Structure 1
Amino acid sequence: MNELLSDSLLLMMSDFLLIFAQFDITIQVWLCIIICVVVLVYVTVTPVTLTAMTLERYVAICMPLRHGELCSTRNTIHCILIIHCLSSVPCIVILSTFFVSASLSFYKQYQLCSMQVFMFYIWQQHLRSAVYQHQFLIMSIIFVFCYVKIMKVAKAASGEDKKSSKRGLRTLVIHGFQLLLCLIELWGPFIEAALFQIDHSLFYNVRYANYVMFFLAPRCLSPLIYGLRDEVFFHALKNYVSFGLCKTNTIYQI
């Protein structure tokens, strides 16, 4: 639920930014800051949430006796708060460098809203790169660690435990693929910043491609994957895709 709500909010805000960019709509910098704060925080919430879900699968399979205790409702709420706190770190670092560099009159200027507005010096781009690469490394290590541990348990398990472990492993692979797309997205701004200095037309084309492949795609996978696991939804979707040619005996209730 946390991932779905954060992704929905992020997609709505990013759609506004995309429309502004496509039609060259400028807004005042102070308003751009508010929009970018939401985007910067929630663009990180998704990979951090996927990392937390990976850890949850690790606990469920490798430490089943402690799963109920560690994944209680109270701890889940605490985990959501921690996710948002960790996701705020890149935003705080990036905007702090902007606040100490910008003059008061700059906040009233009209600019095309993008992250380039907040980058006055090359060291700011290097700092942002360092923050996101550090984040990329930590999440990758956590995922590889959980994957190796669950693989060992899956090989050693037997019977129902083996089926449960394999099911958990498949879920982990799905989360890993989503996480990979999200982490590649973290490299997008650095590629775009380099292209912005070379060719503006190429910059806009690459930015649009990155938006579709590494921004929209991982955030559409979760509702699709978990929706397809529901038998009623799967048969309903199959019926609609085939234009009613594929008949099922399932009774759909709205």
Structure 2
Amino acid sequence: MTPRYILFIHLVICDIILMTLLTLLHLLSYIVQTLNVSLCIVMIMLTTAANYSSQMTLAVMSLECYIAVCYPLRHSQICTVMKTYIVIACIWWINALNLFLDVFIGLATEPLEFFHSRVWCGDKYMVFHHSYTIEKDKIFDIALLVIVWLTLIYTYLRILFTAKSATADAQKARNTVLLHSFQLLLSTLNYVYFLILLELQAMFPSKRRAIRFALTVLINIMPRIISPLLYGLRDKTFRKYLKKHVFCAKSM
């Protein structure tokens, strides 16, 4: 019943979806190498939506920290459970609208036989390779990153200048926004993943699989580890329940 933890659980769910599908696609690329285009589209859409939702949720969580520090008396009125669920629904609605545009462009530009064929499903643009899709994604990615980064910078500066008393809660909120920024910085490496991959594979052609595996771990998995560390270990309330359940599990 706490908006902060609802957002945290939503972030964890997005990360679980993203890591599960990325790992599955990575393994399938070694085992079967190619997938049916329709199945690939579903998996790519879910992976992309989870990635975008994770970044948007980081911005919303930073806003919640900002409101808690700068408007503590109005926090319970502004950040309600219902409003939190509405924000989460809006995040997925925006992502669904963006991704369904890809599907509509694909249906309009590709023959039906293409959706029954097989492709290597390691890259979104193996199935959505029309120039309209590429340009749309560039605009969407730039707009999303600008909005999220401006939100993080604004909330951090407002917390920094508003909480002049340097209370423990203010310092914790400030550090939380900084950690969100670091997590987002790692997440943005996804946008240059294939550029780095191609450069390294050109330099070390005999280590293609090792390079791809290492980049997948560093760029796609490592940023997702920060969320449970950030809220699971630093948060006193969450840590209390975590200890309670761990001890119960040991006693069973």
SS at match of 1:120: coil
> 2:35 maps to what in 1?
27
- Please name the residue that 1:9 is paired with: 17
Specify whether residues 121 and 136 from structure 1 end up closer, same or farther in structure 2 by C-alpha distance, changes over 3 A only: same
1:140–1:187 CA distance, 2 compared to 1 (3 A) = farther
Which residue number corresponds to residue 248 of structure 2?
Answer: 253
Q: Calculate percent identity across the aligned residue pairs.
A: 22
Q: Is 2:143 aligned against 1:134?
A: yes
Q: Relative contact order: is structure 1 or structure 2 higher (C-alpha 8 Å, sep ≥ 6)?
A: 2
Counterpart in 1 of 2:176? 171
Secondary structure class of the residue paired with 1:150? helix
Query: SS at 1:38's partner residue?
Result: helix
**1:29: Cα distance to partner?**
0.6
Q: Could you tell me which of 162, 186, 190 is aligned with 2:191?
A: 186
TM-score normalized with structure 2 length: 0.80
Question: Which string of whole-angstrom CA distances, capped at 9 and with x for unpartnered residues, describes residues 100-158 of structure 1?
Answer: 2211000111111131322434554343223212211111111111111111012x226
Q: Does 1:152 align with 2:157?
A: no
Verify the 8 A CA contact 2:105 2:132 in the aligned structure 1: no
**Could you say what the CA RMSD is over the residues aligned between the two structures, in angstroms?**
3.0
Q: Which amino acid in 2 is paired with 1:149?
A: R
Structure 1 residues without counterparts, runs of 5 or longer: 238-251
Please say if 1:61 is aligned against 2:69.
Answer: yes
| Selected match of 1:120 from 96, 114, 129 | 129
Task: Give the Cα separation in 2 of the matches to 1:225 and 1:29.
Answer: 38
Q: Secondary structure at the match of 2:248?
A: coil
In structure 1, the residue matched to 2:4 is none
Report if the CA contact (8 A) 2:119-2:126 is conserved: yes
Which ranges of structure 2 fall in alignment gaps of 5 or more residues?
A: 1-8
Change over 3 Å in CA distance of 1:77–1:137 after alignment to 2? same
Task: Tell me the SS of whatever aligns to 1:100.
Answer: helix
Q: How far off its partner does 1:49 sit?
A: 0.7
Residues 149 and 214 of structure 1, relative CA distance in 2, 3 Å threshold: same
Q: CA deviation at 1:233?
A: 6.0
2:233 aligned with 1:228, yes or no? Answer: yes
- What TM-score, normalized to structure 1? 0.80
